[in-house]
Amino acid sequence: NKPLYILAIETSCDETSVAIVENGTIIKANIVSSQIETHERFGGVVPELASRKHVESITWIIEEALEKSGVAPSELSAIAVTQGPGLIGALLVGVVAAKALAYALELPLIAVHHIAGHIYANQLVHELQYPLVSLVVSGGHTELVYIESEGNFKIIGQTRDDAAGEAYDKVARALKLPYPGGPYIDRLAQEAGEALALPRAWLESDSYDFSFSGLKSAVLSALNQANMKGQPLDPGSVAKGFQASVVEVLVEKALRAVKAYGAKQLLLAGGVAANQGLRQQLAVRCAEANVPLLTPPLGLCTDNAAMIGAAAYLKFQRGQFSSLDFKAEPLLSL
């Protein structure tokens, strides 16, 4: 049995990444080139700069991934790429590169949804059992997804305003922490003593939706008021209070969804899945409720192409290929 190698490309936001994945589970190479240095002085991703950086990097990253994997282009079975959602100019660079490779090497093309990629990052290390519920938390998304069977997604709840990661980054900015601020808040929260008391947005009692903009405003106004009194707040207590509020709502709603949908597993996905507070709290609550919890390894939480390769392998097995004229879709739905 010959191994099946997929070359996968991810350029939906500010990471240029190329991976070679064997049989959907073995990562032969996963090169991630972050553009943080380009964007950090602007406090967020500048779309036009992101596109240009992807153009500069994509060719050598493809070459480096192939070289590192030891897999020859002639051994590849398919080319996969993130179709959306994401920044259109950024997505286009990956999509055009993937089409060129597929055309030149006469290989099938597989278009992958970015969130399916985050979800199936878990497939690289875990055995999935359906039906399951996935809590997807990233810089652009906060969703509870019911997955009845492989590739069969239903969004049962989502954020009505900011994504969880976006709220982390905005609060971090108010605390004058570097961009992206999620990991810095996480660390501060772990080390802090007392937590600032902040509200939780539960919304309607039966809703699986989220809202983080009120919490963000509460943090900003608490910071301002304290500054005006000349008694600035301790950043650690702000970080700890903010994280406690975000984590509590995410964990409660995820567990309620698992129960209501009779899910066999709870699967964590997305950049914020790297959050230690969230991982710890979910582990405790899932153990209590006897719910198997799957989390991706830390290095596969934030954007990377290996997760796109993992999701593409499932589509390959189902024969779901795309033609050379498929389009990048910035608002692609799951």
User: Does the annotation place 114 within a ligand binding site?
Assistant: yes
Going from the C-alpha of 33 to that of each of 50, 62, 243, 244, the distances in angstroms are 12, 11, 28, 31
Can you list the alpha helix ranges (DSSP code H) found in 192-303? Answer: 213-228, 235-260, 276-289
Binding partner at 183 among ligand KG4, Zn ion, none, C-beta below 5 to 8 Å by kind = ligand KG4
Residue 140 found at the interface with ligand KG4 (CB under 6 A)? yes
Bridge partners (DSSP) listed for residue 111: 81
Q: State the CB neighbour count (10 A cutoff) for residue 68.
A: 15
Among 22, 162, 169, 209, binds ligand KG4 (CB under 6 A): 169
Residue 108 found at the interface with ligand KG4 (CB under 6 A)? no
Binding partner at 295 among ligand KG4, Zn ion, none, C-beta below 5 to 8 Å by kind = none
Q: CA 47, 53, 56 angle in degrees (round to 5)?
A: 150
**Distance (Å, whole) CA 142 – CA 135:** 8
**152: Cβ–Cβ under 8 A, 6 or more apart, which residues?**
none
Q: How far is the CB of 211 from Zn ion (least distance, A)?
A: 20
Residue 274 found at the interface with ligand KG4 (CB under 6 A)? yes
Residue 13 found at the interface with ligand KG4 (CB under 6 A)? yes
Binding partner at 168 among ligand KG4, Zn ion, none, C-beta below 5 to 8 Å by kind = ligand KG4
**E strand or H helix at 309:** helix 305-317
Size of the site for ligand KG4 (CB under 6 A): 19
Size of the site for Zn ion (CB under 5 A): 2
Residue 272 found at the interface with ligand KG4 (CB under 6 A)? yes
* Piece of 30-38, 120-128, 179-187, 323-331 that binds ligand KG4 (CB under 6 A): 179-187
Q: What is the CA radius of gyration of the chain?
A: 20
Query: In the block, which residue shows the tokens 């582990």?
Result: 283
**101: Cβ–Cβ under 8 A, 6 or more apart, which residues?**
7, 62, 79, 107
* Piece of 54-62, 146-154, 176-184, 227-235 that binds ligand KG4 (CB under 6 A): 176-184
By three-state DSSP, how is residue 142 classified?
strand
Q: State the CB neighbour count (10 A cutoff) for residue 2.
A: 6
Q: Hey, which residues between 81 and 140 contact Zn ion (CB under 5 A)?
A: 138
Q: Which residue is nearest to ligand KG4 (CB)?
A: 271
With respect to ligand KG4, which residue has the nearer C-beta, 241 or 271?
Answer: 271
Q: How far is the CB of 274 from Zn ion (least distance, A)?
A: 11
HSE-CB of 25 using CA atoms within 13 angstroms = 6
Annotated binding-site residue numbers for Fe cation? 114, 118, 303
Annotated binding-site residue numbers? 114, 118, 136-140, 169, 182, 186, 275, 303
Interacting residues toward ligand KG4 by CB under 6 A = 13, 138-140, 165, 168-169, 180-183, 186, 270-272, 274-275, 302-303
